[in-house]
Amino acid sequence: QRRGLGVSAKEPLYVTALDTEHNRIEVGKKSSLECSSLVASGLNWIGVDRLTGPIEACGKIRYRDRETPCTIEPLGEEAATVLFDSPKSAVAKGQAAVFYRDREVLGGGFITQVMNIS
C-alpha cells in the first residue's frame, strides 16, 4: 500500500522496513526489495543431521516462490547465513525459509535478518 504516505516521488515507493519501536516505516524503490542473503534461525533439519560446514541447496521463501540455488553457512547450532546465487525479491523478517536438494526437503527456519542489495 502506497497511498496516504504523504510522500511525493517520481516512481512508486514500497515499504522496505518497519520500525515499530519508533512508529516509523522505511520506503524505497522496488529494487531495494531485492535480497542477496539472509539469516535464518530456529532451524529444523530433516534431510541432514546438522550443519558442520557450508552446503549447496535451493532456498524457497514463499509457497509459490521459485527455488533459488544458495549456499547455507552454519552460525552455531540453530542459525545459518543463506547466500543466494541470484537475488530474491520481497524477503522479510518472520517469513519461513525452506531448503531443498533434488526435490527433498532438507529443513527450514524463520528469517531473522535480511541483507538487501541496495
DSSP string of 44-98, one letter each residue: EESSSS--SS-EEEEEE-STTPPPEEEEEEE-SSSEEEEEEEEEEES--TT-EEE
Instruction: Let me know if residue 62 belongs to a domain.
Output: yes
Instruction: Let me know if residue 29 belongs to a domain.
Output: no
Closest CA to 81 of 117, 47, 54: 54
What's the grid cell of residue 108?
527450514
Query: Average pLDDT per run of 10 along the chain, which is 118 residues long?
Result: 71 77 82 90 90 95 92 95 94 91 94 85
Per-residue pLDDT at 53 = 96
Residues spanned by the domain of 42: 34-116
**Distance (Å, whole) CA 108 – CA 88:** 17
pTM for the model stands at 0.79
Q: How many separate domains does the chain show? A: 1
Instruction: Let me know if residue 72 belongs to a domain.
Output: yes
Instruction: Let me know if residue 91 belongs to a domain.
Output: yes
Looking at the DSSP bridge assignments, the partners of residue 82 are: 38, 72
Instruction: Let me know if residue 96 belongs to a domain.
Output: yes
Instruction: Let me know if residue 82 belongs to a domain.
Output: yes
Instruction: Let me know if residue 9 belongs to a domain.
Output: no
Instruction: Let me know if residue 52 belongs to a domain.
Output: yes
Per-residue pLDDT at 86 = 95
The CATH number of whichever domain residue 91 belongs to comes to: 2.40.30.10
